[in-house]
């Protein structure tokens, strides 16, 4: 018989504002289901308290933590090591705390979660990929999709400088060829595109009536159209793309796969993604 323990192992998240972040709900549900004695604590951490929060996590023996807005860049100065793709992306959303000696390792699992979700419908290897957006999510997705073997990445963004900068990053730091395409009204999706990704915040609750300005008639049948927006899970963009014959992929898959990757990095265990997805669907339905 194993001895009863009253001590949980700890993981969690540092962000502000933390109250609307649903990650705690899916991590707690999946950890409870796996009966691992691991907890995930959602912490409200303002910018001027990040260093204290990091020291607290080390002192309390945490396995690691997520950092969300506004800490994804500020956390870099607290780390001992950066995973290769996080170094290219230049931002970290997951920190693993190793012991003896203490070492903080930064990962970016946003894009890894997206690629894991993408692999459920298509292998990114050899694909021509179009990314709408050049913010944090787009950057992580473009880098990881390129590292997963996409042949080309086309970045389309409202602000040209930001889009060009991301295209240059992909072109110089990954094996994929990349270019910036200005976002003209009713954007024509280039011929041969295998994967089209909305990595902007367009369509996010409460603006679910909005959708990216794309001429969906130019999406070829069988193209995978993905959305990072997880709330609502069936965005207007995905519904319209499906009507035009696209294979669609929702933002819940990215969120769940990112959480699965984080849990694996912290604990070595594979949690149940179906449990996480069910919890998210309940939250966003409410
Ligand atoms: P950022 O603020 O870093 O970037 C926002 C991007 O959206 C920019 O490219 C911006 O263009 C573009 N954008 C916003 N509004 C418009 C508009 N009206 N017209 C054209 N372009 C617009 O945000 P993030 O990258 O961090 O997040 C983007 C989305 O991804 C959010 O909805 C977030 O919830 C979601 N997300 C989902 C995850 C998941 O697991 N499903 C994980 C992480 C994020 P510009 O440069 O011109 O301002």
Secondary structure class of 10 (helix, strand, coil): strand
The total number of structural domains in the chain stands at 2
Ligand 1 in contact with 134 (CB < 6 A)?
A: yes
202 within a domain of the structure (yes/no)? yes
127-184: per-residue pLDDT in tens? 999 999 999 999 999 999 999 999 999 999 999 999 999 999 999 999 999 999 999 9
- Report which protein residue has its CA nearest ligand 1's atom 39: 255
63 CB-side CA count, 13 A: 19
Atom of ligand 1 at shortest distance to CA of 254? Answer: 40
94 C-alpha to ligand 1 centroid (Å): 19
Same domain, 99 and 168: no
Residues 123, 224, single domain; the answer is yes
Residue 78 domain-assigned?
Answer: yes
**Integer Cα distance of 224 and 246 in angstroms:** 6
Mark whether 230 and 277 lie in a shared domain.
Answer: no
Instruction: Indicate whether residue 132 lines ligand 1 (CB < 6 A).
Output: no
- What separation in Å is there between the alpha carbon of 60 and the centre of ligand 1? 34
230 and 263 co-located in one domain: no
Is 118 within a domain?
Answer: yes
Say whether both 241 and 158 belong to one domain.
yes
Query: 217 in a domain, yes or no?
Result: yes
Per the structure, the complete domain to which residue 198 belongs is given by 111-250
Which tokens belong to 62?
């945490």
Helix (H) or strand (E) holding 140: helix 136-147
Alpha carbon distance 233, 275 (integer Å): 16
121 and 101: one domain?
no
CA of 3 to the centre of ligand 1 (A): 48
d(CA 192, CA 190) in angstroms, rounded, equals 6
The CATH number given to whatever domain includes residue 268 is 3.40.50.10860
Question: Residue 4: inside a domain, yes or no?
Answer: no
Same domain, 101 and 151: no
Q: Is 202 in the pocket of ligand 1 (CB under 6 A)?
A: yes
What residue ranges of the chain have pLDDT lower than 70?
Answer: 1-2
Kindly state the tokens that stand for 204: 């996010």
Q: Residue 175 and residue 99: Cα distance in Å, rounded?
A: 34
The number of the ligand 1 atom at minimal distance from the alpha carbon of 230 is 41
Per-residue b or e along 146-180, where b marks 16 or more CB atoms closer than 10 Å to that residue's CB: bbbebbbbbbbbeeeebbbebbebbbebbebebbb
- What positions carry a catalytic annotation? 72
Asked whether residue 141 falls in the same domain as residue 104, the answer is no
Q: Are 176 and 159 part of one and the same domain?
A: yes
| Domain contains 99 | yes
Q: Judge contact between 171 and 107, C-beta under 8 A.
A: no
Please give the distance, rounded to the nearest whole angstrom, from the Cα atom of residue 38 to the centre of ligand 1. 32
Given this model, what pLDDT does residue 3 score?
78
**2 domain-assigned:** no
Q: Residue 174 — left, alpha, or beta (φ > 0 → left; ψ -120 to 50 → alpha)?
A: beta
Give the per-residue pLDDT at 1. 59
3 falls within a domain: no
Whose tokens are 């993905």? That residue is 226
Q: In this structure, are 175 and 231 located in the same domain?
A: yes
Give the domain CATH number at 175: 3.40.50.720
Looking at the fold, whether 139 and 238 belong to one and the same domain comes out as yes
284 lines ligand 1 (CB under 6 A): no
* pTM, full prediction: 0.96
Shared domain for 236 and 115, answered yes or no, is: yes
């Amino acid at each position: 018989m194993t001895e009863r323990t009253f001590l949980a192992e700890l993981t969690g998240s540092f962000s502000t504002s933390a109250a609307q972040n649903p990650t705690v709900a899916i991590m707690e549900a999946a950890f409870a289901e796996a009966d691992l004695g691991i907890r995930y604590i959602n912490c409200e951490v303002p910018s001027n308290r990040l260093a204290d929060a990091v020291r607290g996590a080390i002192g309390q023996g945490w396995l690691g933590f997520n950092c969300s807005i506004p800490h994804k860049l500020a956390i870099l100065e607290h780390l001992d090591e950066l995973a290769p793709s996080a170094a290219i992306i230049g931002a970290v959303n997951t920190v693993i705390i190793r012991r003896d000696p203490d070492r903080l390792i930064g990962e970016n699992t946003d894009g890894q979660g997206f690629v894991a979700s993408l692999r459920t419908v298509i292998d990114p290897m050899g694909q021509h990929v179009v990314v709408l957006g050049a913010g944090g999510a787009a950057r992580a997705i473009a880098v990881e999709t390129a590292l997963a073997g996409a042949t080309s990445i086309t970045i389309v963004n409202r602000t040209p400088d930001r889009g060009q900068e991301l295209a240059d990053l992909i072109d110089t730091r990954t094996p994929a060829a990349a270019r910036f395409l200005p976002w003209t009204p009713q954007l024509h999706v280039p011929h041969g595109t295998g994967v089209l990704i909305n990595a902007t915040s367009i369509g996010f609750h409460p603006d679910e009536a909005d959708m990216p300005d794309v001429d969906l008639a130019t999406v070829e049948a069988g193209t995978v159209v993905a959305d990072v927006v997880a709330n609502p899970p069936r965005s207007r963009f995905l519904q319209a793309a499906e009507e035009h014959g696209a294979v669609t992929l929702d933002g819940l898959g990215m969120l769940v796969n990112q959480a699965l990757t984080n849990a694996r990095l912290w604990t070595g265990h594979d949690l149940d993604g179906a449990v996480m997805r069910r919890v998210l669907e309940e939250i966003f339905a409410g």
